[in-house]
Structure 1
Amino acid sequence: MNLKKIAAIISVVVITGLMIYGYLLYRAIFASNTNFQTEQVYVEIPTDSDYDQVKTIMAAYVKDMDRFEKVAEKKDYPSRQEKAGRFLLKKGMNSNEIVNALRQNVPVNIAFNNQERLENFAGRIASQIEADSLSLLKSFTDDKFLQENGFTKENVLAMFVPNSYEFFWNTSAEKFRNKMLKEYHKFWTDERLEKAKKLNLTPIQVSILASIVHKETVKTDERPKVAGVYLNRLAKGMKLEADPTVIYAVKLQDNDFNKVIKRVLNKDLATPSAYNTYMYAGLPPGPIAMPDITALDAVLNPEQHNFIYFCASVTRFGYHEFAVTPAQHEGNRLKYVAWISSQGIKR
């Protein structure tokens, strides 16, 4: 066999080998390598995870782990220090795209409202980020944090203004708390602080009163009117006598916040609690729920009127009937008592 034929054969072998290698390389990098049927999935990788832990997690979403690992190593992913986060994988991604996706921590939009206690709130947040409810609760009630920022364990719920916020999934409890403190100060603009000052209320006191208004009515257009009633009572030195505070006191006493109370009974009014505004004058020691922004702004922008009393309406359900005198209020109250009794509601 002459040299030309040998050279030709060698060339064919080399070219064939290169083609096979190229195909395998292309397949490893650019061929689809996902193993899920939905259009997309979010993968959560815990804090302090190493490369082996990442591979264990990814095995559920990747069709061929050898192909994935080859690309990951070529792209120097195993040496990456920070691997934790929430990552978006799309159906049909190739290994190269999957590794790129694992470098892009996708934020979480966290929303919350109407939480009655810190414990409920911590549980709500824990369902949306990596931090667990116990670590969140511990950070919220840290003595040093509370003292430095003018809160107590009873009123720190006022710090969390219901809205939608963007966080990374792997945000720690302390970072979440500190970000919410910044949002709290951002909410309390100079304009809002000035309005609170004119009412002789601190921001925390506004939040406490707003929590009562929030619980009294779901009708946002009625909240400024209800806020005006309570501010009128405070100005006259009257007790607030707010049913939602009694309901909170009963739940707190029974340690049962899943209890549904549709009707406040006379015996409930005697519940010994600082939250019972039938027994104690002034505001309770903390919010009885997390007031939303409409309730907060209702207190800051109350309707100006002379009403001192209000009672649930039996003709405009969801709204209330307002009164200036005890006699007017008693008439409204008797109508409501008759209606609720006719509905068979005893508790």
Structure 2
Amino acid sequence: MVSNKRIKIFILVFSLVSAMFSYYVWQVFKTPNFRVEANQPFELFIPKNSTYESVLDTLKKHDVVRDQLSFRFLAKVLNYPEKVRPGRYVIHSEMGNWELLRKLRNGRQDAYKVVINNFRLKEDIAGRIAKQTDYDSVAIYAMLDSSALMQKWGFSSETSPAIFVPNTYEVNWTTTFPEFLDKMNKAYVKFWTSKRKAEAQKLGLTPVQVSILASIVYGESKNPKEQARVAGVYWNRLQANMPLQADPTVVFAWKDFTIKRVTSKYTALNSPYNTYRNAGLPPGPISIVPSDVIDKVLNLEHHQYIYFCAKADFSENHAFAVTYEEHRKNAADYQKALDQNKIH
């Protein structure tokens, strides 16, 4: 009887101890242990050559860890002090020690999402990328504006925007901007398939020249149904060695995107981007365009049109013309509509 009673007591005590131990293990491993708002995660930045103690100092400075003892205990169990990896790590409110420490130990960084879309100026590109990452906008611009630096990827100061293929890219905090450009160049090379390069060659254009022409087409028309036709007009002008006389290039040359009506005052500007004064393509793209616009240029319409003008109804459509007389009539209708709407 006494022996059975002792066994029962032992089992009871063992069960209680096991339960307490299990609870403690659960607390150490799984219970959320970080003072982080649900809608405002904490970004932990760990520079290169950081130590375990410096990581703890950062967390302590921002009062992130609730239970320091359990965090330190599990960190040592997982050998994290010997495996500190640099990077940007986002700490969420529901995270426990186990989840975060494994993330830190394995270097599973939280990448920035960088959206590349319709930028016009290199200043815009630099500013937007800097806003989405930890890069310095001045340093970005300096690199994009340097032909000596951009030649590594086959671009110049003027053509550097062409390296960017519109998309959303993931970039780690530890990735340098030159490494980011390596990533952009890989996307560029992947985009320019042998088929696309062959189509460009048929037109007698390089991939960069196609990007330049596509940027002008996109500046003239956002209507997908017209872009191949607009590209055909400019193609005909290039073949005839006629100035493109593209208003978007003039606006770009002035860097004044509030201009609504391009007049002789603006077309008189002495700039290599002014296609009223210079024949051929400008030295670089006037914007980064959607990839499908490049495909519209590669598969441009072959026709006899030499002129086009926005329609007087201010729709996204244009009036195309073969003869100058026909174009003058279309242009007069549009100019009249501008005057009536007091657009100067």
Q: 1:331 to 1:130 in 2, by over 3 A?
A: same
Pick which of 11-20 and 110-119 moved more: 11-20
| Displacement of 1:232 | 0.5
Q: Which of the residues 59, 62, 72 maps onto 2:65?
A: 62
Pick which of 154-163 and 30-39 moved more: 30-39
Q: What does 1:297-316 correspond to in 2, within 5 Å?
A: 297-315=295-313
| Displacement of 1:63 | 2.9
- Report the equivalent of 1:326: 324
Q: 1:235 to 1:46 in 2, by over 3 A?
A: farther
Q: What does 1:1-347 correspond to in 2, within 5 Å?
A: 23-38=23-38, 41=41, 43-48=43-48, 49-58=50-59, 59=62, 61-87=64-90, 89-102=91-104, 103=106, 104-141=108-145, 143-251=147-255, 259-315=257-313, 317-346=315-344
Q: 1:93 to 1:149 in 2, by over 3 A?
A: closer
Q: 1:333 to 1:46 in 2, by over 3 A?
A: farther
Say if 1:240 and 1:282, in contact at 8 Å, map to a contact too: yes
The residue type paired with residue 278 of structure 1 is Y
- Report the equivalent of 1:4: none
The residue type paired with residue 47 of structure 2 is T
Q: How many angstroms apart in 2 are the aligned matches of 1:144 and 1:246?
A: 27
Q: Secondary structure at the match of 2:178?
A: helix
The number of aligned residues is 331
Q: 1:69 to 1:178 in 2, by over 3 A?
A: same
Pick which of 166-175 and 241-250 moved more: 166-175
Q: 1:209 to 1:27 in 2, by over 3 A?
A: same
Pick which of 154-163 and 35-44 moved more: 35-44
Say if 2:113 and 2:170, in contact at 8 Å, map to a contact too: yes
Structure 1, gaps ≥5 residues long: 1-8, 252-256
The residue type paired with residue 345 of structure 1 is I
Q: 1:26 to 1:229 in 2, by over 3 A?
A: same
| Displacement of 1:127 | 2.2
| Displacement of 1:317 | 0.6
Q: TM-score, normalised by structure 2?
A: 0.86
1:140-187 Cα deviation digits (max 9, x unpaired): 445554334432111111111112333334321111011111211111
Q: How many angstroms apart in 1 are the aligned matches of 2:267 and 2:296?
A: 27
| Displacement of 1:286 | 0.8
Q: Secondary structure at the match of 1:85?
A: strand
The residue type paired with residue 267 of structure 1 is K
| Displacement of 1:73 | 2.7
The residue type paired with residue 97 of structure 1 is E
| Displacement of 1:24 | 4.2
Q: 1:106 to 1:241 in 2, by over 3 A?
A: same
| Displacement of 1:18 | 8.1
| Displacement of 1:71 | 2.0
Q: TM-score, normalised by structure 1?
A: 0.85
The residue type paired with residue 83 of structure 2 is R
Q: Secondary structure at the match of 1:249?
A: helix
